[in-house]
Amino acid sequence: MLALPVVIMLLWAIWNESWQFQIAKQEVQARAQSAALQYANRIASRLDGQFSALQFLGTALLPPDSASSPPSAKTIAILRLYLALHPSLYAFNIQSPDGNRIVWSTRRQSARPINPGRVLTPLSRNSQFLLGQDQYAQRVQSRVIPIRYRVADRLGRTRFFVGTPYRVDRLLGHVDSASWRFQVIDTRDRSVVGIWQGGQVGWAATLSKPAATAFGPDIAVPGYPFMIQVRWPPALVVQAWIKGAWPRWLLEVLAVALLTLAAWWMRRLLRQQQADRSRLRTAAYSDPLTGLPNRLALQQRLPLALAQAKRNGTQLAVGYMDLDDFKPVNDTWGHAAGDALLQSLAQRLRSCMRGTDLVARLGGDEFVLVFEGLTRPDDLMAALQRIHTAVEQPFALPGGHRAQVGLSLGLTLYPDDDSDADLLLRHADAALYVSKLHKADRPHWWRLWGQDTQDSEETRLECNPLHIDPYGPTAGGLLESAQEHFAAVADRFVERFYAAVAQEPESTEILARLSPAEFVHLKAHQAEHLRSLLSADLTEDGQRQRAAQVGRIHALVGMRSAVVVKSFGRYLQLLSQIAGSLPARAADRQDLVHILIGRLQVELEAQVESIQQTHDPFPQWIFRLEQRLPEWVHWVDFARDMLDEIIKLPGLCAAVFYKPDAQGHFVYEFNSGRFGDYMRSLERHGVPSLELNRHSPYGQSPHPRAWRSERIETNPSYSSDPRMAPWKEAAHAVGIRSSVAIPIKDGRDHMVGVIGLYGLYPGQFESAAMHAFFDSLAQVCRRFLQRSQSSRLSPPLPAQERSHWRERLFGGGLEMFMQPVVNLHTGKPFKVEALARLRLEDGQLITPGQFLSAFGSSELAHLFVLGLDQALSQVSRWDAQGLSLGGCRT
């Protein structure tokens, strides 16, 4: 299991590199499309210029009868000068009305044109412009595309054509150092006009460089039947992926190395802890003076022995034994002599007990004997005789002294005494008590419980069970008796706990975000939590609910589970010290520690589970948002719904989309949650709007900083960040404690706006997990803008004004102005054009250029229905008045 984080890190690194490769691929594709679009515009611009020149030549420079008479000498000089300035053109030709014969040309050449008239096709945007098909022309010694301008008379008949062959290599020439390959396709017959690659124009057979394999979508040449296919070598994507990857790779390798080192170190620590636990277990179950099993070992062994006797159908004897006349040994020769006697006694008992039997020291001179597997009455008597023989011999003590002690033993037999382990010990203790009462006249040094007289059921030993229900009546009684002690040290405990926590850098950073008043409140809350934890009336369900709330807060303030677990270790250590100082029996103090451990274990489990449950909704929300992207068409709908949904995540109370206006003031276009309350609070405190100016005190909020830096900017705490002083009081008034600004870019990497999120807790947006969430949100917004081509957004519109216009649309503010369309030949209107306007309460009219970009799908649908209804109603009224129109255009 220790290797699992290393494996997960490796898998994450592989996934991250795959994701980075896809990003590099998308970036290369976007650059290629941009370059292809620029290339297509350049080709269109060149053709536009030459067609304009032909149009000017045919309409301004040439006489109307150019088909039968040559141009003037001045015109010829102008044409030759133009050709000298434009080597991409071969010659200016005047061609017959059918386009199949050259009447006059600036060059001496064949009268047969390169392309016959039937080959040339008119352009859709201007039927007077005709474009031929590319082919190799022997007279030009190059591939050319003929272009012509048709000169018509007043009746639209062709008088002549003005044309020129356009060299393909000059038309497709381009200056670009990138490794793109542009292939120009004639969409009329899907033929290849030419290929540009690496500064050369040619065809696949003439290019020296190998063809690229990766390609993107075709780009149309505006206004012409050409299509640009852009291609690039796959190595370009690899280069883009590798570029800037070294720091990332270094971090990934370093993370894997650190995790591997941590796993090795943890394994070493675990082994050491196992060894320590083994030593502690031995110490926990052994008496330190004699090496005999102690009370804890007895509590574990005796129930097992009873279960085995029940299974095997054998008898079991439990004896409670102490030494007679042991106190005079301590009084005469000191406790060292008494300890030596006990050690010698332990050795003798071991030597005379069977391997299946047990002898345990409870404390002082008290011992418990357990005899298992007794099948005959003589077995127990033989064992008791061996013990008595071994103990009645004098003991050698330090200093050459010798001492002799007697024994008293109380016995009970199972299954004759069919009781549980605790009651068997009580019965044996009661028998011992009776035996010592009759020490002067007893027939044996041992006494069997229930023999002759009714033995007392009083016992002086109360054994603490190994497992105490932390919420049961036993736990409640112990805690109730300790309440006065806990209340006296509660405040000191809290101070010591936070002093210990302050030694951890991560915890110190979290606490530093609190103001002094907030820190005092936190300590008071911690003291209350301690009192709840130590309450005798606490239930497990109640503790889990309260711990889940605390865990949620820990998750939101950026505290990792590992830090919580570590702080619980310090918490338990301090609680154990407090319990250890309780003026009570050692057994009660030990039981109290067990109770606290049990409750803290429940507390830790509930908090860690709550931390995970608080973190899980964020990546799940991103996944759902990506799945829903096809539902939205307009940015307005997407942004509005996204902000309404995001504030449902844990700890978020307000969200906003900001964008600066032309004056550098930030305007909030969409908002949700408590943001409206926050704005009203800012107005009450007299705080002006945010500014883009980096030198202004009102330009230090995360939102202007994010716009300027194009990076995520956070405000850990309005209390601890001095830059947030202008907004502190207004934010605290509505419960806002921290904020973050996320820059949003379009598909061309241009800034579109800033998403602002506001949190209920300090430090809520500082963790690595939250920053990963912000990056994912920015990527989803960017993909939506790229898909919907909504990056060319309108100027910022305040949310109040947007809401006002929407209310006017749904509240009867739409007016359709009917504009007649007049036939200039007859002078009569034959159609009307309906123009939509929004009329505000003060009479101001808002044009579509202003309000269309502010409306989403629902508003636009409502606008269409209302506008169509008003327009058709007006047409119906005109029809009723006898005013007939040929049609209606809205």
Q: What is the pLDDT of residue 885?
A: 66
Residue 288: the pLDDT is 86
Contact partners, residue 561, CB within 8 Å, separation at least 6: 608, 611, 612
- Specify the pairing of strand 214-215 against strand 226-232: antiparallel
Same fold, 4-235 and 618-796: yes
Q: What is the pLDDT of residue 317?
A: 93
Rounded to whole angstroms, the Cα distance separating 128 from 255 reads 68
Average pLDDT across each block of 10 residues of the chain; the chain has 890 residues. List them in order: 79 87 86 90 92 86 69 86 88 90 90 89 91 91 93 86 92 80 91 86 60 70 92 81 81 86 86 79 82 89 90 90 86 88 92 89 90 83 88 88 89 82 84 76 82 40 50 84 81 79 77 80 83 86 89 86 77 78 74 84 87 90 89 87 94 92 81 92 91 86 90 92 92 94 85 92 90 92 78 54 70 80 78 82 79 64 77 80 59
Q: How far apart are CA 331 and CA 325, in angstroms?
A: 11
Domain ranges of the chain: 4-235, 290-448, 473-614, 618-796, 802-880
- Note the CATH architecture for domain 618-796: 2-Layer Sandwich (3.30)
Residue type at position 758: Y
Residue with tokens 């007077």: 128
> Angle at CA 735, nearest 5°, toward 729 and 741?
85
CA distances from 155 to 158, 159, 518, 595, 879 (A): 9, 10, 90, 108, 38
CATH of region 473-614: 1.10.490.10
Residue pair 458/430 in contact (Cβ under 8 Å)? The answer is yes
Give CA torsion, residues 80, 85, 90, 96, to 10 deg: -50
Residue recorded with tokens 């993909």: 783
Amino acid found at 20: Q
pLDDT at site 888: 43
Torsion sign, CA atoms 758, 761, 762, 766 = negative
**Terminal Cα distance for the chain, rounded:** 70
What's phi and psi for 845, nearest 5 deg? Answer: -105, 130
Contact (Cβ atoms closer than 8 angstroms) between residue 108 and residue 93: no
Q: Which strand ranges, in their side-by-side order, compose the sheet holding 814-823?
A: 814-823, 828-839, 845-846
The count of other CB atoms within 10 Å of the CB of residue 884 is 9
Q: Which helix (H) or strand (E) holds 713?
A: strand 713-715
Return all residues near 11 (Cβ < 8 A) that are at least 6 apart.
Answer: none
Alpha-carbon gap, residue 124 to 223, rounded angstroms: 7
What pairs with residue 409 in β-bridges?
321, 446
Residue range 4-235 forms a domain whose CATH class is alpha beta
* pLDDT for the residue 694: 81
Which CATH architecture best describes the domain 290-448? 2-Layer Sandwich (3.30)
Angstrom distance (rounded) from CA 698 to CA 480? 56
- pLDDT value of residue 775: 93
pLDDT at 465: 36
Q: Rounded to 5 degrees, what are φ and ψ at 798?
A: -55, 145
